Amino acid sequence: MLPVIIIVLILLVVIIMNVRIVPQAHAYVVERLGAYHSTWNVGIHVAVPIIDKVSKKINLKELVADFPPQPVITKDNVTMQIDTVIYLQITDPKMYAYGVDNPMRAIENLTATTLRNIIGDLELDQTLTSRDIINSKMRAILDEATDPWGIKINRVELKNIMPPKEIQDSMEKQMKAERERREKILQAEGEKRSAILVAEGEKESAILRAEAEKAALILKAEADKEAQIRRAEGEAEAILSVQNATAEGIKMLNEANPTQLVVALKSLEAFAQAADGKATKIIIPSEIQGLAGLATSFKEIISNDEK
């Protein structure tokens, strides 16, 4: 009875020792008698003692491969160092385990050769400004080349591009000169805009002054016109008043039925007003002269009677 129990315990220990738990995002490649047998995914698995063997444990997460800088030569014979980073993921554990020996070393060498081929067709300026194009080309080439190895290249990035020291100094001088040129252009454009604004301001000011002077002239002309109209109206009213007064006087004389002597006296008064002490010679009609003499005589008679 005891030997049986011992055998059972030994079998339990062997079984327990051959139980394998595959964690999440991992896969185990199992060989049976030296040949590929199966791929264990997440869960509990039991290997046949002595016959089955877990040959490779594979991480199915996305991996980041940061390779050291690689020397490359551009089309215009400039040697530089380029540091690349590759994001990859194992999609087929069996092909990854048996497709190539040391897959990461193979990817590193493939990355270096691919990078040299791509950079060799570009000049220095194109290399510095075409990172996206280089990344896309490298990802396509590496993904196609690593597909038989069960590897998927998700993304390739040029981490750093390091030209030679003299090239860096030349680029810095060029960038400094470009910044100074842009600064001068901006300054010139600012001065030009300022001059344009000043000229426009002076132009608008001159236009406003001219319009103000024009408005003043128009107002003055209108005022002069109004004054002339008022003077003309005043003169017309004065003339009309004189004429009305004259007509009224004539009307009153006619209504009074004046004698010839009164008419003569009025005529003499009119001549006296016409002379006004300024005329040196006055010609009096003979009819008025006779009436004047008669008036004088009549005046003298009145004077003697009063005495």
Residues 99 and 106: their CA atoms lie apart, in Å, by: 11
Residues 251 and 229: their CA atoms lie apart, in Å, by: 32
**Model pLDDT, residue 78:** 87
Q: Side-chain half-sphere of 306: how many Cα atoms within 13 Å? A: 6
Amino acid letter, residue 42: V
Helix (H, G, I), strand (E, B) or coil at 280: coil
Residue identified by tokens 């040029």 is 158
Amino acid letter, residue 61: K
Residues 128 and 123: their CA atoms lie apart, in Å, by: 9
What CATH number does the domain located at 62-163 have? 3.30.479.30
Q: For residue 151, what are its two tokens?
A: 């590897």
User: Are 56 and 81 a contacting pair, CB within 8 Å?
Assistant: no
Q: In terms of Cα–Cα distance, which of 38, 39, 47 is closest to 16? A: 47
One digit per residue, the tens of pLDDT, for the chain of length 307 reads 667 788 778 878 878 888 889 999 999 999 999 899 999 999 999 888 889 899 999 999 999 999 889 899 999 888 889 999 999 999 999 999 998 889 999 999 999 999 999 999 988 888 888 889 999 999 999 999 999 999 999 999 998 888 888 877 777 788 888 888 888 898 898 888 988 998 898 888 889 988 888 888 888 888 888 888 888 888 888 888 777 777 776 677 666 665 565 555 565 565 555 555 555 555 555 555 555 454 454 445 445 545 5
91, with CB counted inside 10 A (0-12, 13-18, 19+), is middle
What lies within 8 Å, CB to CB, of 77 at 6+ separation is none
Residues 96 and 86: their CA atoms lie apart, in Å, by: 17
Helix (H, G, I), strand (E, B) or coil at 47: coil
Residue identified by tokens 């038989």 is 148
Taken in order 100, 104, 106, 111, the sign of the CA dihedral is positive
**Model pLDDT, residue 129:** 85
Q: In terms of Cα–Cα distance, which of 36, 125, 138 is closest to 84? A: 138
**Model pLDDT, residue 301:** 46
User: Are 167 and 124 a contacting pair, CB within 8 Å?
Assistant: yes
Q: For residue 272, what are its two tokens?
A: 């006296």
Q: In terms of Cα–Cα distance, which of 31, 22, 29, 137 is closest to 90? A: 29
